Structure formats: C-alpha cells, structure tokens
Amino acid sequence: MQREMRNDSSVLIVVDVQNDFLPGGRLAVPDGDAVLPVVNALGTRFENVVLTQDWHTPGHVSFASSHAGKAPFETIVLGYGSQVLWPDHCVQGTEGAALSAGLALPHAQLVVRKGFHPAIDSYSAFFEADHATPTGLTGYLRERGLSEVFVVGLATDFCVAWTAIDARRQGFATTVIEEGCRAIDTGGSLAAARSAMAEAGVQVVPRL
C-alpha cells in the first residue's frame, strides 16, 4: 500500500548525512549508514526537502586537535558554553564533508551549510551553538509557508536534537523520526537529548 504524501506545508530536514559521519569516516556514527534507505524512502513522501551539511574550517574550535593536551570527546568551556571536542571532521572541500553518494533526494531544494564560523560550533540547522547566530533557515521556511518540520539524520543526540529543539522554539510543529536517525551516545548524550526534546515539545516517533 502506498503511503500518503505529506502536505505542502511540511518539510523533511535531513541532517548531516555526510561521509565523515558514516562507516569509515572521521567521526563515524555507529550504524550510521542504516539511515540511508529510510531517508530515501521518506524523501519520496515529501514535496519539500532540506539537507544540512557540516562545513568546518581547518583548525575549527570544536576540534580536539586545536587544543593542546586535549583528546576527542573531552569537554571544554567556551564563551558560548560547554563544547565537546571532536576529531577533525567535515572540513570544507574534503571528501569527508561531502554528502553521501547514497542519498537519493534529487528534489531537495536547499542545502544549509553550518559550522563554518571558526570560533563557534554548530549542531542545529537553525542557529550556531551560541544560540544567537542564525543560519537563515527560519526565514526560508516561513517565507515558503512551511510550518511543519520532520527531522532525520545524524546524529540523534547532537545535530538532530538541536535542530528539532530549535525548530520547535521557532514555532514549527516538529517531529523526529527515530528510524531515520542514529546516535553517537557519548557520556549519556542520547538520554539527555531525548529529555531536552520532550521538554521543548518535540514529538519523537519510531517511524512515519
């Protein structure tokens, strides 16, 4: 039985399905490639699709290699708050930063690049990690009359959750589709993300 198409006021946001987050990448999310068939199938049910792309400068502040004596997954405090330090990943123009060739979403209308400010990390598709510097996605969605957001991608506990929470805070009805996501889950991050999404009013469903 064919599943219904979503109405034209809804949008599927596909978060960071990039080579560095897939098996063999610099910051591979466990089982990350399992989202590809799910995301591609979901894409056929949405008229409106937006992709996001982590797009870091070399020597980005979020990289452990930028801080002497620090190792990946340690946490430091920056001017905008707590920052997990990551392996170098999704550096602008590298193969690791490229969107996966396994994505089959030719009708996607927008790619939002984030994390390109050298001194600010960015998980959310809507705001940099300082919660103040916008990407412009809110205005894009509003000007197009899109009011309902569905989020999938990598990773559940960071970029997916932050995107969903910011979408809800910007007034969009927001749903995370779990079968289209995978998590890193470092230091209890997945449980914390689920709690934060629930508190923000994000609906989390196993599948659509």
* pLDDT tens digits, one per residue of 25-36: 999 999 999 999
Q: Using CA atoms, how far apart are residues 74 and 154, in angstroms rounded to an integer?
A: 20
In a domain, 4, yes or no: no
pTM of the complete model: 0.94
Per-residue pLDDT at 187: 85
In a domain, 5, yes or no: no
E strand or H helix that includes residue 150: strand 148-154
Count how many domains the chain has. 1
- The mean pLDDT of 31-43, rounded to a whole number, is 97
The answer to whether residue 1 scores a pLDDT higher than 70 is no
Per-residue pLDDT at 179: 97
Per-residue pLDDT at 5: 65
In a domain, 83, yes or no: yes
- State the catalytic residue, choosing from 114, 121, 157, 181: 114
Average pLDDT of the chain to the nearest whole number: 95
Condensed to tens digits (0 to 9), the pLDDT of residues 104-124 reads 999 999 999 999 999 999 999
Per-residue pLDDT at 3: 59
In a domain, 168, yes or no: yes
Per-residue pLDDT at 186: 83
In a domain, 94, yes or no: yes
Strands 148-154 and 110-114: unpaired
Whichever domain contains 80, its CATH number is 3.40.50.850
In a domain, 144, yes or no: yes
In a domain, 53, yes or no: yes
The answer to whether residue 2 scores a pLDDT higher than 60 is no
- State the catalytic residue, choosing from 157, 159, 166, 181: 159
- State the catalytic residue, choosing from 16, 33, 88, 157: 16
| Nearest to 97, CA basis, from 155, 55, 52, 60 | 55
- What domain range includes position 52? 10-205
Q: Using CA atoms, how far apart are residues 140 and 177, in angstroms rounded to an integer?
A: 22
Residue 159 appears among annotated catalytic residues: yes
Condensed to tens digits (0 to 9), the pLDDT of residues 141-184 reads 999 999 999 999 999 999 999 999 999 999 999 999 999 999 99
Per-residue pLDDT at 176: 98
In a domain, 3, yes or no: no
Condensed to tens digits (0 to 9), the pLDDT of residues 59-78 reads 999 999 999 999 999 999 99
Residue 114 appears among annotated catalytic residues: yes
